């Protein structure tokens, strides 16, 4: 399969500045140690399934691009044992349509800027309509160094780590994160922000907006860490997580359940801080029904707001 599809990609007009298309109508197999290199200004529409076999190392992925622009993958389904299902490094103006992952290893979709000497130079204009991922040993979707991200939905089932992980990512709009058993037995979460996600310059204006987070079981539900923030999550539905339902650690300007939410059982809702970073600040928890767990704040964060919280058999250990 790889040879035929790569030949089709390589046959597109050289030096083009508008998109040309390759349509793959069938299914086939690829080795985990190989990849399809997608060039700039290309639409690759895979209507079948790429089944990945064997093992490999490094950044191999059946769908791969590096240092490119204007790539579109309207449809793709990937199964088997990839290292990464899709890997995009230093790719601008990327659009993924519907991505179906039924795998038993690897990371689902990775988008980063890590080939650039200046990591402050983020990749821009990334759009993902829908990712449905099951069985990854790592995250379903991970970004690192992105400015301008739109995701319709990430649906994660039995992923080894996060459903959606945003690292050093700003100006993002996320519709839904829906995770069941994401990161079970780990500190990862259905939805995680890390490594200064949401930080613009030295401040945290609201620039990451999430419609809803649904989490069942797994590790944590929502996890914000390492000087991240600038996020509003409208609706949450978190239940029976193995670790914290919500952990906000050294984060700033975080608004949880701006519209409504429930947290049931599982671990606590915790505001925390490590000594090496500035204490958490401007955290708002509101419009929540909290059942059979606790809200813990230690140390006391700066300018925390707790309002319209209904506690059912739950403890309030905040500093408010």
pLDDT digit string, tens, across residues 184-230: 999 999 999 999 999 999 999 999 999 999 999 999 999 999 999 99
**CB of 215 within 8 A of CB of 237?**
yes
> What share of the chain in percent tops pLDDT 90?
99
Sign of CA dihedral 4, 5, 7, 11: positive
Q: What is the mean pLDDT of residues 14-21?
A: 98
Q: Output the pLDDT for position 101.
A: 99
Neighbouring residues of 284: CB distance < 8 A, sequence distance ≥ 6: 254, 255, 256, 258, 304, 305, 306, 307
- For residue 233, what pLDDT band results from cuts at 50, 70 and 90? very high
Residue range 289-307: mean pLDDT, rounded = 98
Choice between 255 and 320, residue whose per-residue pLDDT is larger = 255
Mean pLDDT value of segment 113-137: 98
For residue 320, pLDDT over 90 is answered with: no
pLDDT digits (tens, 9 = 90+) for 273-295: 999 999 999 999 999 999 999 99
How far apart CA 95 and CA 271 sit, in angstroms, is: 36
Q: Is 2-317 assigned to CATH 3.90.1200?
A: no
- pLDDT tens across 206-215, in order? 999 999 999 9
Give this prediction's pTM.
0.98
- Comparing CA positions, the residue from 140, 143, 55 lying closest to residue 100 is 140
What are the residue ranges spanned by the domains of the chain? Answer: 2-317
Q: What is the mean pLDDT of residues 124-134?
A: 99
CA distance 290 to 125: 37
């Amino acid at each position: 399969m790889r040879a035929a599809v790569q030949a089709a990609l390589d046959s597109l007009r050289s030096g083009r500045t508008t998109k040309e298309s390759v349509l793959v109508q069938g299914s086939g197999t690829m080795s985990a140690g190989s990849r399809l290199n997608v060039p700039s200004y290309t639409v690759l529409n895979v209507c079948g399934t790429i089944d990945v076999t064997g093992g490999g190392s490094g950044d191999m992925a059946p769908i791969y691009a590096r240092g490119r622009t204007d790539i579109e993958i309207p449809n793709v389904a990937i199964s088997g044992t990839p290292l990464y299902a899709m890997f995009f490094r230093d790719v601008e103006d990327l659009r993924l349509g519907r991505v179906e992952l039924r795998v038993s290893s690897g990371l689902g979709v990775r988008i980063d800027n890590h080939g650039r000497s200046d990591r402050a130079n983020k990749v821009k204009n990334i759009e993902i309509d829908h990712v449905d991922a099951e069985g990854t040993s790592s995250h379903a979707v991970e970004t690192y160094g992105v400015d301008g991200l739109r995701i319709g939905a990430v649906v994660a089932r039995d992923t080894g780590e996060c459903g959606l992980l945003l690292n050093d990512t700003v100006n993002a709009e996320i519709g839904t994160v829906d995770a069941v058993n994401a990161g079970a037995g780990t500190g990862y979460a259905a939805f995680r922000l890390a490594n200064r996600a949401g930080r613009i310059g030295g401040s945290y204006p609201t620039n990451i907006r999430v419609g809803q987070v649904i989490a069942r079981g797994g590790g944590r539900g929502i996890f914000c860490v390492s000087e991240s923030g600038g996020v509003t999550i409208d609706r949450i539905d978190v239940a029976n997580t193995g670790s914290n339902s919500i952990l906000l650690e050294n984060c700033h300007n975080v608004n949880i359940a701006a519209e409504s939410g429930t947290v049931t059982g599982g671990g606590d809702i915790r505001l925390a801080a490590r000594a090496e970073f500035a204490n958490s600040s401007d955290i708002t928890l509101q419009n929540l029904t909290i059942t059979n767990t606790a809200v813990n704040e230690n140390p006391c964060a700066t300018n925390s707001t707790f309002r319209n919280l209904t506690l059912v058999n739950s403890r309030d250990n905040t500093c408010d």
